[in-house]
Each structure stands twice: as structure tokens, then as C-alpha cells.
Amino acid sequence: MKPSTITGFLIRYHRLKQNISQEGLCKGICVVSYLSKIEQGIVCASDEIIHQLFHALKLTYHDDADFLAQAKQTLYDYFEKYFMQEENIQEANEIQKHREELLCSPLCVETLLACAFMKFIVHHFDPTAIEKEQQELTVFEPMMSDEQHFLYHYVCSIHPDFETRLMHLKKAGNYISCSPQRYMLGYRYYEKGFHDEALEYMNQAYSLACEEGNVHVMMDAVLIIGNCYCNNYNEKLMCHYYRIADRIARSLKKQDIHYTIQYNLGSTYLQWKQYDKAKAYLLASLHNEIFDQILTYQKLALVSFELNEHKEMKHYLEQADQLIDKEPSLSDMNDFVHCYCSNNIQEEHYLKLLEKLSSDTSFPYGFQKFYALYLFEAYMKRRRYKDALALSVKFRFDFPDKC
């Protein structure tokens, strides 16, 4: 796309932002029909007319070659580091520093995209936070390059609606197919519990990441693959992919991933009622993060209860209780563990806790399923077979034929 064509869309962008009509903007400069053609990219106006139109907008058009060359490199580095999961704070600060000049330059689209990505990072679960940038970018859609279209749909994939997320991620892949796009597509399926689809895209992400040299996506993809095999009850493949993820994590000095894997294994073996294995992995997962400590102590209490190690169970409950005020979002989980370890599973409060925990979408699918398994048992003991069947369908686990 020629700079002059981009400039036409840029004029339209700023005119609409200021709520100025075409007639009001071009008065004394050119006729309305000519401005319309400029804004559509049909004609290439002279530098004189472009600068006059920007002056009418009370703006300065920045087209200095050295400024644009340096800014273009900064924008490229920002996105390159973002997708390689490298620190790009310096680039982000530089873009923000020159934001106003860049929004009045041929690099306006890339700048709006970068600003949307910055909000994507800070407000990852708040789609309204980047809505303004998304709306402003729609003005430029007709003239976007493949790279810009990819970035536009990628950042638009932060949306509360599952199907809308998938639509934007798939559209992004129509322009550029790369490991981060495949990973995010797989992750969207994974967080909803569609593990077969997640496995398909995560394997694609891993393969592409190997070709690209994107070791962070390699690690993240095989970690999710391991998680999927947890949920598919395939111990051999679960352990295989967790080993690969752990090796990559060691090379990247990502100790947190090692702890995550140990916790996932411990939690999985707890669900599979292999309590000795569960205990060993959970103990190996303990580290300094308060949130993770509480979860681990809760699981260790459950394991100790099943192993009839009541002294240890009491110790782990006390450890979780001492920390729970620092993470109130885990208080319902703590109440559940106390009920279970006190054999108060016939109480209505116990059932209500499990119904809440198994439907709490603020936590990942795997968390919900963990508590759904306990809820399933509670429904069965109460002979609420229809509720148990509905739960088994939702979370895709076996329902006894005899019921």
C-alpha cells in the first residue's frame, strides 16, 4: 500500500474522530468529491493538499523519513518480542512516547495495533478496555496488509463470547499461520474442555514453534498437551509430554513451570485415587507463591484424609487456613476441603459448595471438573441420578450403566 493511500485513510480517521464533515474539512482546499477519493485511496493527492488537510484538522502530518524508519523498526521489534514472549517494555515506552506523532503518520495502523496489544496485556480479561482501539482500527480495515489483518483479528480475539474468540483467531490464521495463533486457538478449546480439538491445535503450535524457534510456545504447547492427556486419562502420554515441558522449562530457567507440572500430576493422581503418587508430587510442587501454596495444602489435606493420616491432614488444613485471608477467591475451596475432611458430606452446605465450584467460570475448566467429580459422587449418594447424568455429560466422564 502506497503511503499516499494510507494517508487518505488517516485523514478520514482523524476527521471522524473530530466529528468534522467532508464539506467542513475541505473548504478552501479541494472539492468534496476529491476529498472523498483521497479518503478512499482512489487518488494520490499532492503533499501540499495533504498538509493543508492536516492543518485544517489542527494536526501535523509526520512523514520525515528518518523518524518513520526508526519508528517502524521499534514497532517491528515490539511485535516480534511480544510473540516470542520476550520483554518489550522499552519498545512499548518508545511507542507511547511518540504516540501522537505516530497517529499522524503512515504508521498509524501499526501504532493503534500496538496500543491495543498493550491494553491486551494489562487488561487480559477485560475486552471493554481495548474496545476503543478495535473500533478505531475498523476505519483502516479495507487497506490493511496481511500482517495488519493478522494482528487486528488476533487482538480482537479477547472477547467474552467463545464463538467470537474462535472466529477472530481463525480469521487471523487465514492471513498468517504461526505458532502463537495456533496455540491461542488450541487454548480457547482447552479452557472450554474440548480436549480433542485442543490437542489438534497444540500439536500444530508445537510443530510450527519448532520451525520458528519459538521455545516459549513449544513449552506452553506441550504443557497443555500434557494437561489434555490428564483429562483424557492417558497416563503414559501425560507423563511423556510433561517431561518434555519440564526439560524446556529447565533450559529457560522457568522454575514455575516445574512446580505447575508437579501440582498437575499430584492433582491428577488424586482424582485417579492413586494417593501415594499424588502426595509425592504435591509435596514436590510446594513453593513461595501464596495462591499455589493454598491449593497445594488443600489437595494434601484431601490426600492425607484418604490415606488416614489425620495428623498430617490437620497440619495441611491449618497451613491453608493461615494463608486463606490473602487469597479470598479460594475460600470456597477451603470450605469444601474442611467439609470433606470432617465427613460432613451429607450436609446441604457441602452440596451447595460443590455446585458453585463446579460452575465457577472464573477458574479454568480443569478446576471446575475436579470439583464436579466430587459433586457427581454426592449426587449419586443422594440418588439424584438425573443431576449426576447431566453433570457427566457436561464434563464428559463416565456414568454408571446400572443407573
Residue holding cell 494489562? Answer: 122
Rounded Cα–Cα distance for residues 148 and 120 (Å): 16
Give the relative orientation of helices 179-191 and 146-156 as an angle to the nearest 10 degrees: 20
Contact 137, 118 (CB under 8 A): no
In tens digits, the chain (403 residues) has pLDDT values of 344 568 888 898 899 989 999 999 999 999 999 999 998 888 888 889 988 999 999 998 898 999 999 999 999 999 999 999 999 999 999 999 999 999 999 999 999 999 989 887 765 556 666 677 777 788 788 889 999 999 999 988 887 789 999 999 999 999 999 999 999 999 999 999 999 999 999 999 999 999 999 999 999 999 999 999 998 889 999 999 999 999 999 999 999 999 999 999 999 999 999 999 999 999 999 998 999 999 999 999 999 999 999 999 999 999 999 999 999 999 999 999 999 999 888 889 999 999 999 999 888 888 999 999 999 999 999 999 999 999 999 988 765 544 3
Residue type, 305: F
- Distance of alpha carbon 379 from its chain centroid, rounded? 34
**pLDDT of amino acid 122:** 64
In terms of C-beta density within 10 A (0-12 exposed, 13-18 middle, 19 or more buried), how is residue 71 classed? buried
Could you give the count of Cα atoms lying within 13 Å of 157 in the half-sphere of its Cβ?
27
DSSP state string for 316-352: HHHHHHHHGGG-GGGHHHHHHHHHHHTT-TTSHHHHH
Contact 217, 180 (CB under 8 A): yes
DSSP state string for 41-59: TSS---HHHHHHHHHHTT-
Rounded Cα–Cα distance for residues 232 and 396 (Å): 10
The maximal CA–CA distance of the chain, rounded, in angstroms, is 89
Rounded Cα–Cα distance for residues 213 and 103 (Å): 33
**pLDDT of amino acid 9:** 85
The dihedral formed by the CA atoms of 12, 15, 17 and 20, expressed in degrees to the nearest 10: -140
